[in-house]
A and B are shown apart, each in its own frame.
Chain A
Amino acid sequence: NAGVTQTPKFQVLKTGQSMTLQCAQDMNHEYMSWYRQDPGMGLRLIHYSVGAGITDQGEVPNGYNVSRSTTEDFPLRLLSAAPSQTSVYFCASSSIEGQGNTEAFFGQGTRLTVV
């Protein structure tokens, strides 16, 4: 059982380039999300999805796009990379239950540097 698979692990982009961070989960989780982690800031929510075809913005969505065409996949697109998007990105998935008591499973993270 692979859990949450996130690729690539490392990426260097030039300002203005676009790229897609891939995220796939094999646990049939309804909920998937993308976070970015910056020093001293904890993890901040970028976008999330509660099921195929449904996405919504989190706390810091600007400069990022997402789509959810299948339950398994939730790619994050950087449209025109900026140095401010240098960060570590995490994809997470969880099962949605009424009491919110399910843990989130995280991918290994992507360390992105924009130069």
Chain B
Amino acid sequence: AQKITQTQPGMFVQEKEAVTLDCTYDTSDPSYGLFWYKQPSSGEMIFLIYQGSYDQQNATEGRYSLNFQKARKSANLVISASQLGDSAMYFCAMREASLGGSQGNLIFGKGTKLSVKP
């Protein structure tokens, strides 16, 4: 079974509007972290935002926020006021903290390609 599921292979959003990228995860580890990375067409992986399983509040970083619903095992990324430069692949990832030596491993979803229309 997939541990990270991103159900939207591709999405379009109008410039200046908000967009939500979906991510659900599956783990029995009580301690885990959830990450979002952006991959523009140039190929590099850019860290956007992190949410810990014990964090009480949703994470925010500038125009990025993470809608964390622990009971639903959901960690959706919200981008407010979309810009043309937001066009990229977006990956959701999880790190399970309690798995001994493998606790550093990131498990990635398959990604969502976001296209921002002018």
Q: What is A's interface to B at a CB cutoff of 8 Å? A: 30-31, 33, 35, 40-45, 48, 50, 54, 56, 58, 88, 90, 92, 94, 96, 98-101, 103-106, 108-109, 111
Contact = CB atoms under 8 A, between A and B. Distances in A.
Interface in B87-116: 91, 93, 95-97, 101-111
B69 interface: no
Which of B37, B106, B107: most chain A CB closer than 10 A?
A: B106
A104 B106 contact: yes
Interface of B: 4, 9, 31-33, 35, 37, 43-45, 47, 50, 52, 54, 91, 93, 95-97, 101-111
Given A42-B109, A42-B111, A98-B97, A103 B47 contact: yes
Contacts of A111: 43
Contacts of B102: 48, 56
Contacts, number: 76
Contacts of B111: 42
Contact of A58 (B4, B35, B45, B105): B105
B101 A50 contact: yes
Contact of A108 (B44, B50, B96, B109): B44
Nearest to B33: A100
Given A100-B97, A101-B50, A103-B35, 9 more contacts: A31-B104, A43-B91, A45-B106, A56-B101, A98-B97, A99-B33, A99-B97, A103-B47, A109-B45
Contact of A100 (B32, B45, B101, B109): B32
Contacts of A30: 104
A96 B103 contact: yes
B44 A109 contact: yes
Residue from A33, A43, A50, A111 whose CB has the most chain B CB atoms within 10 Å:
A43
Which of A41, A45, A106, A108 has the most CB atoms of chain B within a 10 A radius of its CB? A106
A83 B4 CA distance: 28
